[in-house]
């Protein structure tokens, strides 16, 4: 194609811009303010579309297929490439470039040859031009735009392909022959299309157009508005209110938004706050520009609504002029250019699918006779509309539809009442079902309505104290934040399995500040969002922050700690966050900050080791440290940590009352060092967890001395999963008999205990000074004979036990008589754990009988015993038996 011809045809084409149709490619290129769109080529490599096409077509690839939604910038990008070629700026490896629109060549019913096709694209054809092209096909590039508008098949199997450039064939056969290499083999092809099935018949490289990312949108707005202040105001407003939607990546949509925002800014009118309000402003502008009276304006919108309904319901992208006659355009067909475009074989379609759905929503409120009630309306268009309910929700509120009433006449009050009644009823049902996607949709509709009282009416705070969410998008965050800010201060905000980017945290910050407990478990929190999270927590009412399984890592935690120094946090959960000793300096600084309120720190499954824990222990020496509870399970600690911790407990400054070392390796020597501190008067520790710490009976002598110390404040001790054995456990029992022993909760699950130990424990429980209320002895297989000593103790008036676990201790039906006697005699027992034993149906009648008598018993757990279905039915008659 002649280069001068190209520049004439493309750059000097008069193509009037429309507010919905976007700026013409010629005006974009001529303005020299062209902003390239982003493309995802292959292997998730993002870049600019122009650069990606140039790179590929300068190599060995001969076909590039550009796929993107309406208004994503495909056509303008293709025009720009062709113009740049004609100006000698790119793709100079091609001698000839031919640019075609599928909509134009596809409308031809005549048979064509390659020669006649090329002639259609040329103002003048030089002699022997076709021969020159066919002799050097690798220097030829065909650019085809709008494959989705081509109504014929390009499937090579449905055509007899030709290789003769002078052979007359159908348009579809000619194009199939070209694109599949039968005709002019070696030529290159650049094809642009909206998503369509026709793409599957094309080879080469596919490039998916993503449109404008946020930085490109900012450049676009700066180019559009001459005034930098107006540009900044417009851009920031769009990002806050509309940037949550995917279609904001569309250059065409950005043109529409800029055009409307400029009009509103120039008239000193407030910018629209929702998608519905934006389209109200667009429709008002379009109607006013037509200078129609109210009756004709109403008729035009109703006709557009009928067309929109038809296209959506039957999933047609366009309508023939013949079909349009039935929609009632008689007096306004000349006024539809702003809404509709002509293409293909004289067919009409909406410039914007969003406007298509919006005018349908407007028509619903203008004409009850055509569209029926809200449920019928939405059912008729279910699966083919995406934002219809959004627009209906927005248009049901006077603040949004009042401007339209001035131009179109009154909205139907019955339709508004009908929609609100349906919406309220549907929302109340939805919120009871805990269907995540339906919850989100409800919040989106409330967001569009912008009615705070409606939010409070539907989400009655007592009925919905917490809102739990996962896998949120930016759009979901905006809707959720609106709902929460309407409801005000709340107990809990919980999100999980969400990648929290900076934009999302910007949106959610008000909700975080309003929530006493913020749970972001199993979330991937982006580094840039951490300062915003910390700020929101510090400025609000948040006292509990849970970030477990968020894979923070040391770097992000350091940023978080710096931002939380003025926070009012009482609890911080950092379980399984990938932390090491490197982060503990900043954690210690947070604990010792003069403004620190932190009382509970959870650090489970973070390999901070002895070095990291030592820094936390140093913090406990500070009078500013208010830490009372520390969960430090499975953090790679050894006996060395016990020395540092013991020093902190005896410092006189430590406020710590509870610590859990589960899954570490304190060992006997570590516990011995710790026991020295537990006997000191300055030690305030009340709860100590040593589950699975590699302990043996060798540490029990030191623990016995702790129990007998007059200064011991320990009331809860967990020694589970340690090989204490008979000798060590008997030493513990000796200490437990001390009148000053304060132990109330003792866990000795799977500690290799024997019948002799159970006998001694029974004696402890009856001695009159024992304070034990909870005794857990599971997985010590002493059988009926060993547990009999506990049944005897339960029957004794001195026994204070409220909870007893003898799960998996090899109990049989032989124990039932003693068990029932103990239950009848005990005045304190509330919970009894008998799971995983060998009780059978024979034991059931007696147990059921006694449990019906013992109404003060909260629970007897008999799961995983040897019961038949008949026995289970009998157990079901007793409300306080679990089976």
Rounded to the nearest angstrom, the gap between the alpha carbon of residue 517 and the centroid of all alpha carbons in its chain is 19
**Cβ-based neighbours of 871, under 8 Å, separated by 6 or more:** 840, 841, 844
Mean pLDDT of 309-321: 84
| Structure tokens given for 273 | 């706050």
| Structure tokens given for 685 | 């520790």
What is the secondary structure of 436-502 as a DSSP string?
HHHHHHHHHHHHHHT-HHHHHHHS-TTT-SEEEEES--HHHHHHHHHHHHHH-SEEEEEEES-EE-H
Q: What are φ and ψ of residue 545, in 5° steps?
A: -130, 120
Q: Over the stretch 87-121, which tens digit does the pLDDT of each residue have?
A: 999 999 999 898 888 888 866 677 888 888 887 76
Q: What is the spatial distance between Cα 543 and Cα 569, in angstroms, rounded to a whole number? A: 4
What is the secondary structure of 117-134 as a DSSP string?
HHHHT-SS--TTHHHHHH
Angle at 179 between CA 177 and CA 185, to 5 degrees: 75
Q: Identify the helix (H) or strand (E) that includes residue 563.
A: helix 553-563
Give the number of other Cβ atoms within 10 Å of residue 281's Cβ.
Answer: 19
CB 207 within 8 A of CB 50: no
CB 881 within 8 A of CB 875: yes
Would you state the pLDDT for residue 836?
98
What is the secondary structure of 95-116 as a DSSP string?
SEEEEEEHHHHTT--S-B-HHH
Q: Identify the helix (H) or strand (E) that includes residue 833.
A: strand 831-833
Give the number of other Cβ atoms within 10 Å of residue 797's Cβ.
Answer: 11
Query: What is the residue-averaged pLDDT of the chain?
Result: 92
3-state DSSP of 793-819: HHCCCCCCCCEEECCCCCCCHHHHHHH
Q: What is the spatial distance between Cα 388 and Cα 308, in angstroms, rounded to a whole number? A: 11
pLDDT over 80 (residue 125): no
Range scoring the smallest mean pLDDT among 454-463, 507-516, 844-853:
454-463
pLDDT over 90 (residue 783): yes
Confidence of residue 16 (pLDDT cuts 50, 70, 90): low
Mean pLDDT of 566-574: 96
Range scoring the smallest mean pLDDT among 158-167, 668-677, 871-880:
158-167
pLDDT over 70 (residue 380): yes
| Structure tokens given for 640 | 């060395």
Would you state the pLDDT for residue 45?
74
pLDDT over 90 (residue 215): yes
- Exposed/middle/buried for 75, CB within 10 Å: 0-12, 13-18, 19+? buried
Mean pLDDT of 621-650: 97
CB 774 within 8 A of CB 745: yes
Q: Between β-strands 38-40 and 46-48, what pairing exists: parallel, antiparallel or unpaired? A: antiparallel
| Structure tokens given for 261 | 């925002």
Q: Over the stretch 788-802, which tens digit does the pLDDT of each residue have?
A: 999 999 999 999 999
pLDDT over 90 (residue 188): yes
Q: What are φ and ψ of residue 341, in 5° steps?
A: -125, 150
Would you state the pLDDT for residue 644?
96
User: Across-strand partners of 866?
Assistant: 840
Mean pLDDT of 760-766: 98
Smallest CA-to-CA distance from 561 within 551, 548, 574, 550 is with 574
Q: Regarding predicted confidence, which is higher, 150 or 588?
A: 588
Would you state the pLDDT for residue 345?
64
Give residue 242's region: left, alpha or beta (phi > 0; psi -120 to 50): alpha
Would you state the pLDDT for residue 251?
96
Would you state the pLDDT for residue 325?
78
pLDDT over 90 (residue 4): no
Instruction: Give the largest CA-CA distance in the chain.
Output: 119
User: Across-strand partners of 463?
Assistant: none
| Structure tokens given for 224 | 């559009």
Would you state the pLDDT for residue 330?
73
CB 664 within 8 A of CB 637: yes
Q: Over the stretch 279-294, which tens digit does the pLDDT of each residue have?
A: 999 999 999 999 889 9
Would you state the pLDDT for residue 332?
65
**Cβ-based neighbours of 674, under 8 Å, separated by 6 or more:** 642, 645, 646, 666, 688
pLDDT over 70 (residue 461): no
Would you state the pLDDT for residue 775?
98
pLDDT over 70 (residue 464): no
- DSSP label of 19: T
Q: What is the spatial distance between Cα 473 and Cα 245, in angstroms, rounded to a whole number? A: 10
Smallest CA-to-CA distance from 570 within 536, 546, 603, 553 is with 546
Q: What is the spatial distance between Cα 443 and Cα 390, in angstroms, rounded to a whole number? A: 10
The residue written with tokens 């008689």 in the block is 330
CB 826 within 8 A of CB 850: no
Q: Between β-strands 774-776 and 658-660, what pairing exists: parallel, antiparallel or unpaired? A: unpaired
Strands (E), 148-289: 188-193, 205-211
pLDDT over 60 (residue 298): yes
Q: What is the spatial distance between Cα 818 and Cα 822, in angstroms, rounded to a whole number? A: 6
Would you state the pLDDT for residue 348?
86
User: Across-strand partners of 723?
Assistant: 696
Q: Over the stretch 33-88, which tens digit does the pLDDT of each residue have?
A: 999 999 987 666 789 999 999 999 998 889 999 999 989 999 999 999 999 999 99
Would you state the pLDDT for residue 342?
80
Share of the chain above pLDDT 90, in %: 77
Would you state the pLDDT for residue 470?
86
Three-class DSSP category at 881 = strand
Smallest CA-to-CA distance from 117 within 84, 144, 85, 154 is with 144
3-state helix, strand, coil in the chain (%, to 5): 50, 15, 40
Mean pLDDT of 584-604: 95
Confidence of residue 344 (pLDDT cuts 50, 70, 90): low
Q: What is the spatial distance between Cα 107 and Cα 109, in angstroms, rounded to a whole number? A: 6
Confidence of residue 695 (pLDDT cuts 50, 70, 90): very high
Would you state the pLDDT for residue 808?
98
Smallest CA-to-CA distance from 130 within 149, 109, 151, 114 is with 114
Confidence of residue 271 (pLDDT cuts 50, 70, 90): very high
Smallest CA-to-CA distance from 630 within 615, 794, 342 is with 615
CB 174 within 8 A of CB 112: yes
Q: What are φ and ψ of residue 679, in 5° steps?
A: -90, 0
The pTM assigned to this predicted structure is 0.83
Smallest CA-to-CA distance from 494 within 474, 530, 465 is with 465
Confidence of residue 122 (pLDDT cuts 50, 70, 90): low
**Cβ-based neighbours of 83, under 8 Å, separated by 6 or more:** 6, 7, 10, 11, 29
For CA atoms 416, 417, 422, 425, give the dihedral sign.
positive
Share of the chain above pLDDT 70, in %: 96
Would you state the pLDDT for residue 107?
67
């Amino acid at each position: 194609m002649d280069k001068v011809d190209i520049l004439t045809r493309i750059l000097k084409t008069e193509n009037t811009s429309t507010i919905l149709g976007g700026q013409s490619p010629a005006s974009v290129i001529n303005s020299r303010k062209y902003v390239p769109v982003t493309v995802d080529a292959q292997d998730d490599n993002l870049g600019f579309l122009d650069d990606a096409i140039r790179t590929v077509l300068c190599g060995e690839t001969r076909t590039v297929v550009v796929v993107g939604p309406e208004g994503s910038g495909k056509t303008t990008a293709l025009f720009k490439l062709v113009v740049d070629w004609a100006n000698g700026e790119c793709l100079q490896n091609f001698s000839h470039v031919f640019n075609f629109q599928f909509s134009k060549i596809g409308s031809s019913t005549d048979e064509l040859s390659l020669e006649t096709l090329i002639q259609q694209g040329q103002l003048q054809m030089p002699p022997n031009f076709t021969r020159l092209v066919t002799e050097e096909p690798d220097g030829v590039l065909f650019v085809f735009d709008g494959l989705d508008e081509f109504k014929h098949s390009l499937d090579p199997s449905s055509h007899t392909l030709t290789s003769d450039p002078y052979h007359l064939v159908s348009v579809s056969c000619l194009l199939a022959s070209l694109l599949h290499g039968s005709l002019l083999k070696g030529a290159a092809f650049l094809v642009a299309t909206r998503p369509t099935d026709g793409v599957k018949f094309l080879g080469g490289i596919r490039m998916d157009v993503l449109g404008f990312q946020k930085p490109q949108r900012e450049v676009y707005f700066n180019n559009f508005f001459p005034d930098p202040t107006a540009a900044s105001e417009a851009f920031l407003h769009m990002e806050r209110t509309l940037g949550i939607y995917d279609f904001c990546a569309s250059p065409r949509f950005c043109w529409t938004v800029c055009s409307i925002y400029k009009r509103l800014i120039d008239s000193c009118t407030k910018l629209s706050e929702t998608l519905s309000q934006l389209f109200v402003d667009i429709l008002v502008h379009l109607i006013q520009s037509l200078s129609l009276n109210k009756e004709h304006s109403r008729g035009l919108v109703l006709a557009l609504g009928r067309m929109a309904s038809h296209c959506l319901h039957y999933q047609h992208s366009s309508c023939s002029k013949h079909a349009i006659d039935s929609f009632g355009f008689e007096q306004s067909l000349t006024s539809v250019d702003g809404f509709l475009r002509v293409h293909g074989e004289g067919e009409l379609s909406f410039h914007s699918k969003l406007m298509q759905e919006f005018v349908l929503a407007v028509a619903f409120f203008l004409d009850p006779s055509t569209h029926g009630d809200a449920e019928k309306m939405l059912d008729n268009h279910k699966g083919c509309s995406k934002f219809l309910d959004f627009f209906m929700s927005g248009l049901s509120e006077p603040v949004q539809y009042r401007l339209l009433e001035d131009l179109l006449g009154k909205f139907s009050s019955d339709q508004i009442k009908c929609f609100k009644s349906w919406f309220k009823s549907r929302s109340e049902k939805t919120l009871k079902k805990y269907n995540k996607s339906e919850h989100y949709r409800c919040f989106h509709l409330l967001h569009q309505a912008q009615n705070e009282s409606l939010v409070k009416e539907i989400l009655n705070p007592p009925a919905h104290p917490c809102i739990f969410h996962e896998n949120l998008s930016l759009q979901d965050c905006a809707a959720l934040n609106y709902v929460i800010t309407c409801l005000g201060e709340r107990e809990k905000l919980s999100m999980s399995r969400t990648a929290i980017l900076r934009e999302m945290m910007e949106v959610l910050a008000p909700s975080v500040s309003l929530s006493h407990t913020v749970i972001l478990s199993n979330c991937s929190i982006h580094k840039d969002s951490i300062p915003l999270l910390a700020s929101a927590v510090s400025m609000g009412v948040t006292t509990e922050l849970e970030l477990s399984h968020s894979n923070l890592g040391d770097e992000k935690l350091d940023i978080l700690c710096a931002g939380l120094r003025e926070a009012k946090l009482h609890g911080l959960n950092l379980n399984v966050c990938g932390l090491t000793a490197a982060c503990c300096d900043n954690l210690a600084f947070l604990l010792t900050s003069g403004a620190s309120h932190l009382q509970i720190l959870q650090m489970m499954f973070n390999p901070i080791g002895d070095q990291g824990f030592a820094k936390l222990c140093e913090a406990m020496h500070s009078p500013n440290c208010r830490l009372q509870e520390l969960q430090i399970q499975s953090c790679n600690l050894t006996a060395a940590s016990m020395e540092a911790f013991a020093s902190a407990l005896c410092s006189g400054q430590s406020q710590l009352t509870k610590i859990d070392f589960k899954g570490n390796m304190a060992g006997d020597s570590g516990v011995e060092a710790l026991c020295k501190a537990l006997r000191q008067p300055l030690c305030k520790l009340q709860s100590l967890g040593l589950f699975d710490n590699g302990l043996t009976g060798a540490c029990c002598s030191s623990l016995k001395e702790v129990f007998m110390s007059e200064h011991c404040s320990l009331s809860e001790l967990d020694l589970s999963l340690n090989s204490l054995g008979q000798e060590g456990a008997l030493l513990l029992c000796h200490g437990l008999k001390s009148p000053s022993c304060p132990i109330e909760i003792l866990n000795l699950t799977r500690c290799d205990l024997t019948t002799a130990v159970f006998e001694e424990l029974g004696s402890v429980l009856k001695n009159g000074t024992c304070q034990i209320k909870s005794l857990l002895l599971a997985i010590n297989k002493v059988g009926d004979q060993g547990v009999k000593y506990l049944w005897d103790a339960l029957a004794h008036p001195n026994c204070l036990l409220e909870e007893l676990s003898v799960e998996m201790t090899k109990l049989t039906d032989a124990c039932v008589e003693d068990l029932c006697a103990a239950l009848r005699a005990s005045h304190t027992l509330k919970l009894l754990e008998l799971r995983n034993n060998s009780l059978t149906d024979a034991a059931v009648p007696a147990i059921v009988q006694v449990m019906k008598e013992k109404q003060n018993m909260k629970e007897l757990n008999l799961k995983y015993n040897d019961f038949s279905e008949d026995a289970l039915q009998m157990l079901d008659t007793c409300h306080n038996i679990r089976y």
